[in-house]
Amino acid sequence: MEFYSDEEILKGLSSKDPVCIRHLYREYFPVTKSIVERNSGNYEDAEDVFQDGLIVLYQKVRDGKMLLNCSLKTYFYSICWKLWMQRLDRKWRLLYQDRFVHEPVEDYEAKEGDPDEYKLERTRLYHLHFLSLPEDCQKVLKLFICKTSLKNIAMIMGFRDESYAKTRKYLCKNMLRKRILKDPRCKFLF
C-alpha cells in the first residue's frame, strides 16, 4: 500500500486528484464510520458525513484557511466528529421537539467556525440530484447560473433559438426541483 504524507494528501486534494481521494476513502473512511456507528448512526450516515467532511477539508485547502497543528487524520476526525454531533443534535430536535426539552447530544454545542452541517447536507442533496440529471441539462443549468446569455447558450448547445434555450432551462430546473422535493431526505431539510 502506498504511503502519502499529509502535505502530499493536501496537495492532491487541492488538485482534486482521484488517487488522493481514493486514498482518503481507504484510510479515513473507517475513522468516520467508527465515529458515526458508535453514536447511533449507520453506514449510510457515515458515508454522508465522510463526503461532507471531505468537502469541508477541500474548501479549507482551496480557500487557504487550513491551519494544521496536528496530523491530518486527527484534523479530519475532528471535522467529522463535529459534523456528526451537529447532525445528531438536529435529528434529535426534529424527532423530539414537542415531547421534552432538548438536551444537547453528549454536551456538544456548535461553536463559531464549525462547519454548517445543515447547509452541507442540503448542498449534498442538491449536488447529488444535479449530477443525476442528463448531461445536457447539467450543461444548460451551469451556463445559466454562470450568467451566460441566452443567445450564447443556444449557440453552445446547438438549440434553434433563444426561446428554446429558455424553455430548456425551465424544464431542467423544474426536473431538478421535482427530484429534490421527491427525495425522502428532503422532508427533514425544509
Partner 1 sequence: MSNREKMPEWITRYNDNDLAGDELHLFLEMLEKNPSLKVEVGLDKELNEALADDDIIEFRRKIIASGNPKIRQSQLPRKLMLVAATLILMLIFELLLNHLCSRTESKGKESSEVSRICPKNGSGNDKQRNGLKVSQSLKPDGGRLLISSVKVPVNRIKLASNLIPDPQLEGLVGSNVRSFYFKLLSPSGVTHFSMKDTIRLSWEPDLEKPIKLIVTDNHGICVFETEKEMTNRIFFRASQFHSGLFYFKIIGNDDLLYLGKFYIE
Write out the residues near partner 1 by the rule CB under 8 A. 16, 18, 21-22, 25-26, 29, 47, 50-51, 54-55, 58-59, 62, 122-124, 126-128, 130-131, 141-142, 145-146, 169-170, 173-174, 176-177, 180-181, 190
Give least dist CB 22 to partner 1, A: 5
| Residue 45: CB minimum distance to partner 1, A | 14
Shortest distance in whole angstroms from residue 105 CB to partner 1 = 26
User: In the complex, what is the shortest distance from the CB of residue 181 to partner 1, in angstroms, rounded to a whole number?
Assistant: 7
Nearer to partner 1, 20 or 105 (CB): 20
The DSSP secondary structure of the chain, one letter per residue, reads: -----HHHHHHHHHTT-HHHHHHHHHHHHHHHHHHHHHTT--HHHHHHHHHHHHHHHHHHHHTT----SS-HHHHHHHHHHHHHHHHHHHHHHHHHTTTS----GGG----TTS--HHHHHHHHHHHHHHHTS-HHHHHHHHHHHTT--HHHHHHHHT-SSHHHHHHHHHHHHHHHHHHHHHSGGGGGT-
Q: Which is nearer to partner 1, 51 or 108 (CB)?
A: 51
In whole angstroms, the minimum distance from the beta carbon of 70 to partner 1 comes to: 23
The residue (of 108 and 138) whose beta carbon lies closer to partner 1 is: 138
- Residue closer to partner 1 (CB basis): 39 or 51: 51
Nearer to partner 1, 16 or 151 (CB): 16
